Chains A and B, each alone.
Chain A
């Protein structure tokens, strides 16, 4: 019997991104499949953040095609793209919490803006998401009063508040202690399992990669050097990939 081929939830074709004259990404082709945890690796400045920001239309690509949920993000109207964005959660590198409101209000924004849920349910949902990231005691605090790691966890709670279909995390474990980092990885695995999320993670943390990665994409100098699972990545004969795993392991 012929195995049913999964359709990509994010599909990138021939993507080139430039900052001025400098080429950051060059002719990238990539498919990200549903319920998969795809980890994007690469040295600093190789274009990882640019890549995910292009997918989410935060940056305008120089050329190429990006499809999310089968829709070409460059072609669709803003209102339709906003509907798509409600199914995507994004965790920014620095959290990007709104400084003028407390943690609770920050996390409740998407629910207040995009659902008709009563206040009591919103409160329960925000509290649960805060529990998931171990921040139940800081819900009245302002972002400026939180540490870097706490800000990032609060931002993660905000990014999963709508139970999105796709979760994009830009360096989720950076700045976290190993225990919190491991708990975060477990949360990512649970979210995939329970809510059938597709998760794209940009990270440098080898321990985290070992725990969560279904597929690894290795970017170098704006190009994809390697794409495959963790075992294949470890056995890879590509020098940059070998170096990454050898230098990073202990």
Chain B
């Protein structure tokens, strides 16, 4: 590269590997001509480099160009591109209004989905057309049976932890036997249903959302519609039936195994006899508590399926969209499980003496 009499003489190759170096060395302020007689090779980066020089030096004349360079410049020269439309800034009220409307629309859609799911779930019991044969059994295995071990293991560990934490305190007062009260009430009323719901939200909620979202982005849902098959009835209802069947069994397993964890601590750490522990457990737990626990667990299960389906059906784009709605579905499921749990506690236990 040489500079003489306001003319820049470029030499050698003008390619992506050489122009960065050339640009760094270029400290000139005025160039009226660019001479390309000694250019041996040019690629699209080289043409972009010439264009950059034109912008920088007020459109200097390019001289001594070979046919090859002229042709490359013709094909690789950037034209004046249309400006992208600038987004009009919305004021705060428009933004808030927009958010409220969006929210109301999604609430409306969620209610439509809930109505559809319940309608087809009840209708589907009497008319099994529109289901895939064996889909409820298959879903029950996926949602229920495959989750048994993880639910049991975590419940047992939770039972151990709860009992150990309580035992350390109760021992100081000689109130060892009350560990049975604590385990029975906490596992039956709260921890059994809650832990099962959290595991299902993470396991099945994410699976439901990602499955439906993948079907949405690969046009499988559209294909079902075109075959006159209701996607909610075909995809969601079997999951809804399966989770309704499985949730009570999983909650019972979780509660029993959690109490078993407490029993292990009571026997080994607090020197209680298993008979005393279990007798106390059956004394403390009332049928009402067990029924409330089972009742709310159904709501947990339904909300997990409905939220998973809702986010699945709302997926847009490609693989990224699937990931986004899956995350949203799990977060929303856990949120609503906690809200329903809090509401049921308020309704049933706000003014009730437990023992």
Contacts and interface: CB of A to CB of B under 8 A. Distances in A.
Which 4 residue pairs of A and B lie closest in terms of their CB atoms, listed nearest first? A144-B317, A124-B48, A99-B318, A163-B43
B52 interface: yes
Interface stretch (A15-23, A110-118, A223-231, A236-244): A110-118
Given A118-B20, A125-B48, A136-B82, A195 B319 contact: no
Contacts of B45: 115, 117, 121, 125, 163
Secondary structure at the B interface, as helix, strand, loop or mixed, is helix
A124 B50 CA distance: 11
B302 interface: no
A194 B75 contact: yes
A190 B45 CA distance: 16
A249 interface: no
Contacts of A128: 44, 47-48, 76-78
Interface string B284-326: 0000000000000000000000000000000011111100000
A7 interface: no
Contacts of A132: 75-76
Interface of B: 15-17, 19-20, 23, 43-45, 47-49, 51-52, 55, 68, 71-72, 75-79, 81-82, 84, 316-321
B79 A115 contact: no
27 contacts: A99-B319, A111-B16, A115-B16, A116-B20, A117-B19, A117-B45, A118-B23, A121-B20, A121-B48, A121-B49, A125-B48, A127-B81, A128-B44, A128-B47, A128-B48, A128-B76, A129-B44, A131-B81, A132-B75, A136-B81, A136-B82, A137-B82, A140-B84, A143-B318, A162-B16, A163-B43, A193-B71
Contact of B75 (A118, A120, A190): A190
A137 B317 CA distance: 20
A194 B73 CA distance: 10
Contact of A144 (B55, B71, B316): B316
Q: Which bucket holds chain A's interface residue count?
A: 20 to 34
Interface string A188-228: 00100111000000000000000000000000000000000
Secondary structure at the A interface, as helix, strand, loop or mixed, is helix
B287 to A, nearest CB: 53
A120 B78 contact: no
Interface in A130-180: 131-132, 136-137, 139-140, 142-144, 162-163
A139 B84 CA distance: 9
